[in-house]
Structure 1
């Protein structure tokens, strides 16, 4: 299919494109946020410490670092639709790797499967995010990204609950108590049976992902021309030969790195933090969904307010400041609160509220960082996608600090992240030329 400029797309083409990309974002969310259950699950089944268990997030998200720049060249060669199809097929291979991993209870093979899923997802994200930025006026890009975010986080709410319903049992509380008393072959057999519960859901997921690749290939999703610039953009970029000549993009990639790291820490660590307060896994499994629900609340506010009442940069400034305040409350606030049927320390609910603080950060950074890239759009998008490896590294830092000083002290990792995000929101996004 021939690539067309965005200005030549009909309203019908735009709506179809948004619907298909919204479906992609739902898949992104389902596959990504399911890790919130896998981390404590593998910690039990493979007998891991905190640091080792967060290798789940590392293996999954480090793939973005490896694949992001190659993704831009793949998309340039294949186009968006064929690239998306390949991304789904790579993810399907990763899902199928869970079957031999579970049969042998090999943690390294699980991590290989997660890494492979991440490779495919990096290709999908590199294709999908520029679409949303380009399909409409730049000043309302955050609004469109918020709609996609609802698809993403809505899937994220469902994913941990659905996986937990499949792999966890009402009797697992007693099972874990009995497991603590087991030794030798009896314990190995019990853990083997426990880990094999992931075979069915990941086998089904692999089949669905392979089918989605074919469906996208046959869909009417149009190819968008990002290689030709408008006169104004071409004049502004006339002397530029590298994406490193766009400071707002480079600083934005670092902002994405820190933002996604804070986001995944808020979601993937909340079960472990609840466990430190004596809340069992069967009860704590819903807390990631609470955090993601707060993110959806933020997205809904963004859809209503941006750009009619608040511009996307102002929303970014507010969210980054809120994240800084909530981090301090996590570290220093105390007192038991009963809410939604749970009795927990106030600081746990502050972790949940980080979902609200994180909601419009991605939607704010992406259009600001991509502004005016012109022919550098695909490569710039791949650089921002590379920033998603923050999901891989920052949870490991959190896990390391948690092993040394406790799970609550691990949240100190968030403070410098939010402080940099405040800098980017207020100043960094406006820097268009490197100066000494």
Structure 2
């Protein structure tokens, strides 16, 4: 993909459309922070079962990313984006029959379908924004897209909680376990039906965005990097920097979704109700936006994107250890909570620039394999599915604080990739 293919006007149009896509990614993805505790109540789930929300949504990236790359090769970027949005619209509509039957499996199918559409869009968007301009400014561009993503993520839990939660729900949630079977079933049915209207609205918006892209001036871009240096390569798995980078993405996104999607339940273990804790995911996302702003300001003028990745990986490791090891009650932002929850929220700052740092290092030198490489990195997003499940299992068998030890080995590996792993260009050098 050559940045010279696009003139200035086309570049701005493309970045605007891709920015809109990242906003949609954020809104659809981070609403799970409210869906998880809400489904836990309305569908009477364990911690492990409730995190199937994240699993069903993100496992689609593992299943659909490579098919997405072949779809894009066949139909092109523009039509692929339209198809991706329309697949997501179908997924949102599946929430309607799921709610009327209070059938958790159909909810999970809807989430998987939403994730499948996102897999198509993510494969396009991340490759596009990485390759569209100067290589050394890739992390800066990704940071701008990240603000669109996390800005939507701040709005999503608040908007969704406004749509489905009522001021009287605190008392209602306390009464549910005390109700007789018939009354409880009726109450839970009424609770779950609240998601119908919001998801009909979401489906309509997704369909219209897909229609807009179909008739928009978004240009098609083809790779011109059929470089001779990679003629001996038979596929993406011959690039260690890519494969190790995909593992880093897998672990990184897992730490991100654990921080955001578990913070409400963690606050619940400290006595905060769902209504009182509903804004906590937005704090993590606000910290992430602060990280993106740092990246935009500092990269590459004052610090290289590789050095920033190294710093952020070490900061993330430090914060994860503080979450696990430190216990001290503090009053902050109107809450009396253990300080570890604020260390958890602060993980958003380094996490912002870890993603932005991994992509250009992982795609470095891929040339004509860039599309497949992008798809492999997107497959790493299934870490969002796997790691919260591991967290949920540990939380059920021990406690929600102990379960945050899952974060530590993840950041240790990211430190390895930031300092050493990205430099491997041949598997022969590893043997």
Moved over 3 A (4+): none
The answer to whether the 8 Å contact 2:59/2:385 transfers is yes
1:237-248 correspondence to structure 2 within 5 Å: 237-248=230-241
Task: Extract unaligned runs of 5+ from structure 2.
Answer: none
Cα deviation digits, residues 51-86 of structure 1 (max 9, x gap): 000000000000000000000000000000000000
Superposition deviation, residue 8 in structure 1: 2.6
1:155-304 correspondence to structure 2 within 5 Å: 155-226=152-223, 228-229=224-225, 234-304=227-297
| 2:316 is the counterpart of 1:319 | no
The TM-score normalised by the length of structure 2 is 0.99
Task: Extract unaligned runs of 5+ from structure 1.
Answer: none
Alpha-carbon distance in 1 for matches of 2:265, 2:2: 48
Alpha-carbon distance in 1 for matches of 2:8, 2:208: 28
| 2:396 is the counterpart of 1:403 | yes
Superposition deviation, residue 7 in structure 1: 1.1
Superposition deviation, residue 5 in structure 1: 4.4
Specify the alignment match of 1:15 in structure 2. 12
Superposition deviation, residue 366 in structure 1: 0.5
Match of residue 123, structure 2, among 126, 133, 136: 126
More deviation in 33-42 or 371-380? Answer: 371-380
CA RMSD of aligned residues (A): 0.9
Specify the alignment match of 1:106 in structure 2. 103
Match of residue 360, structure 1, among 344, 347, 353: 353
The answer to whether the 8 Å contact 1:248/1:429 transfers is yes
The answer to whether the 8 Å contact 1:94/1:115 transfers is yes
The answer to whether the 8 Å contact 1:101/1:109 transfers is yes
Superposition deviation, residue 10 in structure 1: 0.6
Superposition deviation, residue 23 in structure 1: 0.4
The alignment of Structure 1 onto Structure 2 pairs a total of residues equal to 429
The answer to whether the 8 Å contact 1:69/1:382 transfers is yes
**Is the partner of 2:114 in helix, strand or coil?**
helix
Cα deviation digits, residues 7-63 of structure 1 (max 9, x gap): 131111111110110000000000000000000000000000000000000000000
Match of residue 87, structure 1, among 84, 87, 91: 84
The answer to whether the 8 Å contact 2:2/2:132 transfers is no
| 2:415 is the counterpart of 1:416 | no
Match of residue 6, structure 1, among 3, 6, 16: 3
Cα deviation digits, residues 140-177 of structure 1 (max 9, x gap): 00000000000000000000000000100110011012
Alpha-carbon distance in 2 for matches of 1:254, 1:183: 48
The answer to whether the 8 Å contact 1:6/1:225 transfers is no
Alpha-carbon distance in 2 for matches of 1:110, 1:242: 37
Cα deviation digits, residues 347-397 of structure 1 (max 9, x gap): 010110011121100000011101121110111100000000000000000
Cα deviation digits, residues 379-425 of structure 1 (max 9, x gap): 11000000000000000000000000100011011110000000000
Alpha-carbon distance in 1 for matches of 2:204, 2:413: 41
| 2:25 is the counterpart of 1:28 | yes
Alpha-carbon distance in 1 for matches of 2:339, 2:369: 46
**Is the partner of 2:427 in helix, strand or coil?**
coil
